[in-house]
Amino acid sequence: MSQIPTLDIRRFETDRDAFVAEIGAAYREWGFAGIRGHGISNDQIDASYDVFKRFFALPEDVKRKYHVAGGGGARGYTPFGIETAKGAQYHDLKEFWHVGREIPRDSKYADVMPANLWPNEIPEFRSLAYGLYQSLDSLGSRVLSALALHIGLPESYFADKTDFGNSILRPIHYPPITSDDVPNVRAGAHEDINLITLLVGASAEGLEVRSRKGDWVPFTADADTIVVNIGDMLQRLTNHVYPSTTHRVVNPKGDKARQPRYSTPFFLHPNPDFLIDVLPSTITMDNPSRYPEAITAQGYLEERLREIKLK
């Protein structure tokens, strides 16, 4: 497999066994795949991007009203100059907004899943952003079902472990790069923290994925393709059968650097109290358990947020 595969998820209904085998092989090798036939319309994606762009175009002091100091970037706006890839010298060249799951405020998860903020300046933001959140959440569940089947778990294995998942939709704006000598890249090399990430609209170039051999492979998806990758929580749960692959967003060369980039990852997380304990079916003689100790999803998240300077 010399290229990152793109698969049509409609085959999960029509050609299940072959689809599960192919998606499983793609993720074992790359930790990344493109997903098409997902049913999320271009109109929905375009309308969502339109409100995200309008938000980022607001004056800095207006956006800053939605930055929660000490909130770990969990909800609302995070300005430039904060998130820094683990071990990196310079911060990323991006600003972003976080939408979380809407849960009853008397839920047992309410302490660690705060209420959303919404920008008053853009009334349509809320319904479009949360609509996209829900669409990506259900697409993510379908991908997880296929990944579960491939490693001998029931199709519904993840359902009751992600139904109150602490998942985040993150519209990102990388502004135009106006000088030739910035020492930073748009997003430094990193792995995602969560179970899986669904990246919608990564059609502008810049995303690069590290292959098993260590080469950086550009992955610019077609407009109708959602990029889905494995994060560290699923890597840990599956004892590295599904690898959480390092990726980054590089600055384009020449005039293209003068274009902004917008992208929107959805970080699909388990329920905060889900215990990440290596699945017995992924432990073999050749691959003994790499994590003898279990950790809750929330405990793991807090450790990792400190590393990337969001906490």
Ligand X SMILES: O=C(O)CCC(=O)C(=O)O
Taking alpha carbons only, the member of 267, 197, 276, 191 closest to residue 239 is 276
Neighbours of 65 (CB within 10 A): 13
Distances (CA, A) of 175 to 68, 95, 221, 240, 299: 22, 8, 20, 35, 33
- In the complex, residue closest to Fe ion by CB: 192
Answer with the entry of Fe ion, ligand X, none that 278 interacts with (C-beta below 5 to 8 A by kind).
Answer: none
In the complex, minimum distance from the CB of residue 180 to Fe ion, in angstroms, rounded to a whole number:
26
- In the complex, residue closest to ligand X by CB: 263
DSSP 235: H
Nearer to ligand X, 265 or 272 (CB): 265
Nearer to ligand X, 157 or 216 (CB): 216
Measure the CA–CA gap between 93 and 176, rounded to whole angstroms.
10
Q: Both tokens of residue 58? A: 């607001």
In the complex, minimum distance from the CB of residue 277 to ligand X, in angstroms, rounded to a whole number:
25
Residues that bind Fe ion (CB under 5 A): 192
In the complex, minimum distance from the CB of residue 137 to ligand X, in angstroms, rounded to a whole number:
17
Q: Both tokens of residue 83? A: 């998130």
Nearer to Fe ion, 149 or 202 (CB): 202
Nearer to ligand X, 143 or 187 (CB): 187
Classify residue 159 as left (phi > 0), alpha (psi -120 to 50) or beta: alpha
Q: How far is CA 159 from the centre of its chain?
A: 18
Residues that bind ligand X (CB under 6 A): 170, 172, 187, 192, 199, 202, 207, 247, 249, 263, 265
Answer with the entry of Fe ion, ligand X, none that 191 interacts with (C-beta below 5 to 8 A by kind).
Answer: none
Answer with the entry of ligand X, Fe ion, none that 249 interacts with (C-beta below 5 to 8 A by kind).
Answer: ligand X
Nearer to ligand X, 147 or 207 (CB): 207
In the complex, minimum distance from the CB of residue 153 to ligand X, in angstroms, rounded to a whole number:
26
Nearer to ligand X, 153 or 189 (CB): 189
In the complex, minimum distance from the CB of residue 102 to ligand X, in angstroms, rounded to a whole number:
22
In the complex, minimum distance from the CB of residue 285 to ligand X, in angstroms, rounded to a whole number:
34
Catalogue the E-assigned strands of the chain. Answer: 6-8, 32-36, 76-78, 95-98, 168-169, 172-174, 187-190, 196-200, 207-210, 216-218, 226-230, 247-249, 261-268, 275-276, 295-296
